[in-house]
Structure 1
């Protein structure tokens, strides 16, 4: 896997004369992506974004996911996130690669390595039913090097549960608020904290919740300043964005 360090090493080798400019150009040409026929594996993702390519598993066959992982493993990738996969696919992949699978989140971390967490991200849910999406967010953030605190089942139906956990909320750099039904949790949290709040509407709720659209619209119309919204059930997107914000703050220290 090409990284910023790898490219810097190539440039230093050219500077020292250990590598010709032509050989360096060939090295960089080979690095960007590999065409597997069914997927073009982006090896420069880590250079551009600091994180290897994430595999969206839904609608891919287990063989396709395995092929992508094998290609990334050859390039030295580690802690590869594979989202939206079931137990059967995870079992198939685990026969070929070291794999940590979280069934609640339907998320796997392939070729896992220890990661030191930095900063403070809080993931809060309105109810227990929102935990699958919340775990997708939390594990994503942790895998990308962030420290995560979970506050589950602290929704507005029992507001004292949230108010009893003000200390981790007040010390967080980012809060991810995950809620279905009417999605009120994001507005309440947004009115309590001085950090960015990422709202995640979930598809949890009765008929008029419209598969999460009611929560989505409520969060989009929040009057709490500093609140942003990702798509319905998009725990991965929230965890990734929270990690970016948290890492920016960590870099200032």
Structure 2
């Protein structure tokens, strides 16, 4: 399940890309399939081990261009171990809502992005997230859980303050919002509820088959109740004379 529209992001073969807070690697794998030289980056060593194994499997199965490269590295998003202006593409998806020092994380991703480079930043949208918090304390009061609810304009201001130019904004995963409302209502750890199990099966079916009906329905509902907001940004090129 991809939150970022890679066609809109404009990833090209040979781009050097980093997926910060890569987790299980869903966006890293798509970067690799599109021919980027991708670094999956996360604080979880276990996740990065699994992602590295999947990168290797993708290469063996011929799922990626022969000249694409991929690696998985462990580290802290607040102290990225890369030189300034290293990457053509930066992704950070559903991460900032977990980070107390979110401004520092935004400054770091901006630092490692090349001038003229592009980035996609996604967080849970205010309206669906607010409902989840209202329905369940357990949804967010867990170690490493969500510590803030962003308003889109608030995040936009932080991105522009870091020197990024916003090129577009989207919403995604409208069909997932009711699922999480239902989970919060019956108990986020209640895996035996009949309704949530049935809804989860629907989401998995939709993910696997991508039928016209649900894809069309979600595209209509995304602007209204999409669970995630996605910002597409660019780091401006500073003229030499202005440096």
TM normalised by structure 1 equals: 0.33
Who wins on radius of gyration, i.e. which is larger?
1
TM normalised by structure 2 equals: 0.34
